Amino acid sequence: MTTSIMPTYNRAAITFTHGEGAWLWDKNNQRYLDAIAGIGVCNLGHAHPKIHAAICQQSEQLLHTSNLYTIVAQEQLADSLISKSGMTNVFFSNSGAEANEAAIKIARAYGHQNGIENPLIIVMLHSFHGRTMATLSATGNPKVKQGFAPLVSGFLQISFNDTDAIEAAIAQNSNCVAVLLEPIQGEGGVNIPAPDYLTKVRAICDQHKILMMLDEIQTGVGRTGEFLAYQHQKIIPDVCTMAKALANGVPIGACLAHNAAASVLTAGMHGSTFGGNPLACSAALAVLNTLEQENIIAKVAAKGAYICQQIQEKLSNNQHVLNIRHQGLMIGIDLSVSCTELVAIAAAKGLLINVTNDKTIRLLPPLIINSAQMDFLVATLSALIQKHTQNLATT
């Protein structure tokens, strides 16, 4: 246990030394199935040979030059993201929070350009947008804000999955410039909105000429069965942020903008030393190429459905299992009881999972998870949930 690191994390006493695909090994050579993928980051699994090769090759040539110069890998990555997303252009950062900072700056500048001096951004309860001052202020979780007042102003929190609340907020505040939301709330408990929610949000934003800004940091890069979650609908947002799985573990963030929103930030208005550097962009390009070459995203919906249906079958008689839901391989299982201790119990059985909101088991397995690994996940987790809820029923 090191004491030199700031105690900002509650860490498990597990140290991984290497991985391969969906598996990780610790320093005692114990094997674990990684069903959380570094919090939705390693979508192609660990030690993917194509990502490894791209990183090696790029580091032989150049790691960094700064954005004072043209970066070929950055241009190529932007082209690829634009063609996959239908958006217009991209700003690259190093993390999700920074991608959202760019989105927030676009919204405010868009407001000012339209004569709104005190722009207001509508955000959602139970959302998560990051840990910088602006993004924690936008986040709909009081724990994330606790102790950091004064917060950044200019955010109005309303209920998720409630288009009437958006209409009411706009009606009551003439300074609304944007709505910022996750297509599925991840940290907030895998909250999946009604199927027509995003389409309705798009229509409201069009009607009132405000920006629809989607935080796809967790839902993007194939997690839900489309490259971006909004692609399940026939809509394009004005702004879309990405990070987590974009370079399979090399830090990168991206803020994609569409049409009018794409020309809001001009020279000198935003920047980053590392953002879009050759190493991160080469890794991300390898991720996008691999997703395509191995046809990975097309299989995500069926994999998610298989896992959920199997768990459902095994736990159908357990009244403590309240709900099992998923879109693609973004999976939430609500129990009627607290289950945070299941994380450590599962790890001891060789399975890495996550619990959000105290009672929701969250699974974000790598998209490359295979049948045998899915069966191990289902069998191990179902048995643990059964045991956990049995114990509680009898005590």
Ligand X SMILES: *Cc1c(COP(=O)(O)O)cnc(C)c1O
Instruction: Please report whether residue 238 would count as binding ligand X according to CB under 6 A.
Output: no
DSSP lists the bridge partners of residue 242 as: 254
Instruction: Please report whether residue 215 would count as binding ligand X according to CB under 6 A.
Output: yes
Instruction: Please report whether residue 44 would count as binding ligand X according to CB under 6 A.
Output: no
Instruction: Please report whether residue 331 would count as binding ligand X according to CB under 6 A.
Output: no
Site for ligand X in 119-138 (CB under 6 A): 128-130
Q: Please identify, among the stretches 95-103, 166-174, 356-364, 371-379, the one whose residues bind ligand X according to the rule CB under 6 A.
A: 95-103
Please report the sign of the dihedral spanned by the C-alpha atoms of residue 45, residue 49, residue 50, residue 55.
positive
Residue from 33, 71, 73, 217 in contact with ligand X (CB under 6 A):
217
d(CA 280, CA 285): 9
User: Are 328 and 224 a contacting pair, CB within 8 Å?
Assistant: yes
Q: Which is nearer to ligand X, 217 or 297 (CB)?
A: 217
- Residue of 376, 356, 284, 357 lying closest to 365 (CA atoms): 376
Torsion of Cα atoms, 363 then 366 then 371 then 372, to 10° = -80
Q: How far is the CB of 370 from ligand X (least distance, A)?
A: 25
Q: Which is nearer to ligand X, 170 or 237 (CB)?
A: 237
Q: What letters, b where the CB count within 10 A reaches 16 and e where it falls short, cover 227-255?
A: bbbbbbbebbbbbbbbbbbbbbbbbbbbb
Spatial CB neighbours of 135, under 8 Å, sequence gap ≥ 6 = 97, 100, 101, 104, 129
Q: How far is the CB of 228 from ligand X (least distance, A)?
A: 13
Instruction: Please report whether residue 226 would count as binding ligand X according to CB under 6 A.
Output: no
Instruction: Please report whether residue 160 would count as binding ligand X according to CB under 6 A.
Output: no
Residue from 19, 43, 46, 182 in contact with ligand X (CB under 6 A):
182
d(CA 61, CA 43): 26
Q: How far is the CB of 10 from ligand X (least distance, A)?
A: 16
Size of the site for ligand X (CB under 6 A): 15
Number of residue whose CB is nearest ligand X: 96
Q: How far is the CB of 227 from ligand X (least distance, A)?
A: 16
d(CA 311, CA 383): 10
Q: Is 183 helix (H, G, I), strand (E, B) or coil?
A: coil
Instruction: Please report whether residue 332 would count as binding ligand X according to CB under 6 A.
Output: no
Instruction: Please report whether residue 333 would count as binding ligand X according to CB under 6 A.
Output: no
Q: Is 95 helix (H, G, I), strand (E, B) or coil?
A: coil
Instruction: Please report whether residue 188 would count as binding ligand X according to CB under 6 A.
Output: no
Q: Which is nearer to ligand X, 93 or 389 (CB)?
A: 93
Instruction: Please report whether residue 250 would count as binding ligand X according to CB under 6 A.
Output: no
Instruction: Please report whether residue 218 would count as binding ligand X according to CB under 6 A.
Output: yes
Residue 15, phi then psi, degrees to nearest 5: -120, 115
The label of the residue with tokens 């005590």 reads 395
Instruction: Please report whether residue 96 would count as binding ligand X according to CB under 6 A.
Output: yes
Tell me which residues touch ligand X (CB under 6 A).
Answer: 95-97, 100, 128-130, 182, 186-187, 215, 217-218, 243-244
